[in-house]
Amino acid sequence: MQTRFLKAAISVFLIALVVMTLGLFAQPAEAQEGKIDPNTPVSNLEGILAIPEASSEISSAPFRGSGKLAEIAERQVDPAEKAVGPVGSPIIESVIGADGRSKVSPTTVYPSRAIAYLYVTWANNAAGSCTGWFIGPRTVVTAGHCVYNTASGAAHGWAKSIKVYPGRNGASTPYSYTTAHRLFSVSGWTGSTGNPNYDYGAIQTVATKGTTVGYFGYAWQSSNSFPGTYTVRGYPGDKPNATMWTMNGGITSVNTYRLWYQIDTAGGQSGSPLYKTIDNVCCYGYGVHTYGTSVSPFFGNSATRIRQAVFNNFKAWKAYKYP
């Protein structure tokens, strides 16, 4: 009797173990992501990726590109594209006092040409705009919420498509456009919480526009001292459609994950570079602009800070296989 009872107990245990194991692997990627390191990279094609090895580097150098314009016949907006509001509409103004932004024209001078207008379409075919910046021949950094929608509903999940217009100036597209092949973010953003501290991502583009328009360098530091002048430049939705605007200022507050400043921004500038010149070399990104004045504990607009883990992911995404 005891032997039969023991065998039955062992059978029940084994069945339960199998069910638990199958249940673990049957969970969607989002559920698994919530249980792993929030710095873990993910993509829309492969799902969860390996965390890249820590790099001893603290910066990656910029590249100015050839600047060669697209053929005249190519310099047109996709006729299927419509004027849209920013991702995350309605527009949340983040102008602090008098508007200090100025319009960028021409947009064909580096580093402006390495900044791109993004036309983002979600799973439900709703569309919105964001900003991105090249860090490699076919790698464009942007906000996590520009590649992955954490809101519930039909638009939830990875963007359905993204058009990337480097150096766009209204209806003028001097470098034509390319499209997204692969999207990246991290589990801290794509998981169930959508943590603002991990709100960053990247686009791997079909065409190597970065060889022409150039790309930004990027850097990280352990110090919380950020002296000097920084710039936020991108495509705000409160200005004429798809026009580039810029403003300079200083870093006013810092924590482990974010950088705050009094630089004016508006919806549509999500994903813009927060950058500066180092030793007379332009330009190095130190953050990815993501939010207006709503993110505590400090007052001001803010960027996701490029920490070592962010730097490591940028480096891995830049080197990621294509296609």
DSSP 220-253: --S-----S-EEEEE--TTSSTT--EEEEE-EEE
Contact assessment for residue 186 and residue 40, using Cβ atoms and an 8 Å cutoff: yes
Q: Is 145 a catalytic residue?
A: yes
Nearest of 318, 303, 77, 106 to residue 215 by alpha carbon: 318
Q: Is residue 22 part of a domain?
A: no
- Give the per-residue pLDDT at 89: 61
Kindly state the DSSP code that residue 14 receives in the 8-state scheme.
H
- Examine residue 23 and state whether it is found in any structural domain, yes or no: no
Q: Which of 60, 145, 176, 272 is catalytic?
A: 145
- Say if CB 244 and CB 235 are below 8 A apart: yes
Please give the biggest Cα pair distance in the chain. 88
Query: Could you tell me if residue 14 is inside a domain?
Result: no
Q: Is 89 a catalytic residue?
A: no
The alpha carbon of 92 is separated from its chain's Cα centroid by a whole number of angstroms, namely 19
Do the domain assignments include residue 5?
A: no
Side chain identity, residue 6: L
CATH number, position 259: 2.40.10.10
1 is a domain residue: no
Total domain count, the chain: 1
Cβ within 8 Å of residue 246, ≥6 positions away: 101, 102, 104, 231, 232, 233
- Evaluate whether residue 202 is within a structural domain: yes
Per-residue pLDDT of the chain (323 residues; tens, 9 = 90+): 334 433 444 343 333 333 333 333 333 444 444 479 999 999 999 999 999 999 899 999 999 999 999 999 899 888 888 889 999 866 666 999 999 999 999 999 999 999 999 999 999 999 999 999 999 999 999 999 999 999 989 999 999 999 999 999 999 999 999 999 999 999 999 997 799 999 999 999 999 999 999 999 999 999 999 999 999 999 999 999 999 999 999 999 999 999 999 999 999 999 999 999 999 999 999 999 999 998 999 999 999 999 999 999 999 999 999 99
Asked if residue 19 is part of any domain, the answer here is no
Q: What's the pTM value of the predicted model, to 2 decimals?
A: 0.89
Domain of 105, in residue numbers: 36-318
Query: What's the sign of the alpha-carbon dihedral 175, 67, 242, 272?
Result: positive
In single-letter form, the type of residue at position 306 comes to: I
What is the reported pLDDT for 79? 82
Q: Which of 60, 94, 129, 270 is catalytic?
A: 270
- The pLDDT, as a whole number, for residue 312 is 98
Per-residue CA distances from 86 to 112, 121, 146, 204, 226 (Å): 20, 11, 10, 21, 29
Whether residue 288 contacts residue 142, with contact meaning beta carbons closer than 8 Å, is answered with yes
- How far is 203 from 191, CA to CA, in rounded Å? 19
3-state SS assignment for residue 273: strand
232 bridge partner residues:
247, 274
- 283 found inside a domain: yes
Residue of 105, 118, 103, 116 whose CA lies nearest to 238: 103
